[in-house]
Structure 1
Amino acid sequence: MLIQLKAYLEARGRASLTEMALRLGSDEEAVRGMLAHWIAKGRVARLSCPPAACAKSCCGCPSAAAEIYEWRGTGAAG
């Protein structure tokens, strides 16, 4: 599943935790664990949701939907 997550993020560039969990058919906690692997390798970064991104200043989004990750594609090999 790590490779599927990698391929999905590489293709999309950015995705929410909810999107990735749905795509992989997994729960959000499991996806967070997989993301931790890629974050530790410097390949993925969690992005902050800027208040200007929506009209609700980050108070209206479910927390998982506001959890956005970006593929960086650099870092340690592997």
Structure 2
Amino acid sequence: MNAFAAAIEMLFADPNIGVEAIYTSDGGAPVVVHAVVRRPDEVTDFGDARLWSETTSIDLRVAVLMVRWDCRSRRFCRA
């Protein structure tokens, strides 16, 4: 494991940053994974108005899920 991989591992395992989540793939069994949840607010200009919306983004480590990207179908598939 290199220094970058070790740092990412520490960030996802940190209880102040990472949370436990349950990932379920299509037709698969639920798997407990560590995730980093981000909730940035987005402000969008619409003419003279400004719209404020709450958003939620979740970062997962794909390596933990053991999935690969299938370029033909553009979907994640089990390896």
* Highest RCO, 1 vs 2 (Cα 8 Å, sep ≥ 6): 1
TM above 0.5, yes or no, is no
TM band (smaller chain):
under 0.3
Which structure dedicates a bigger proportion of its chain to helix? 1
Larger radius of gyration: 2
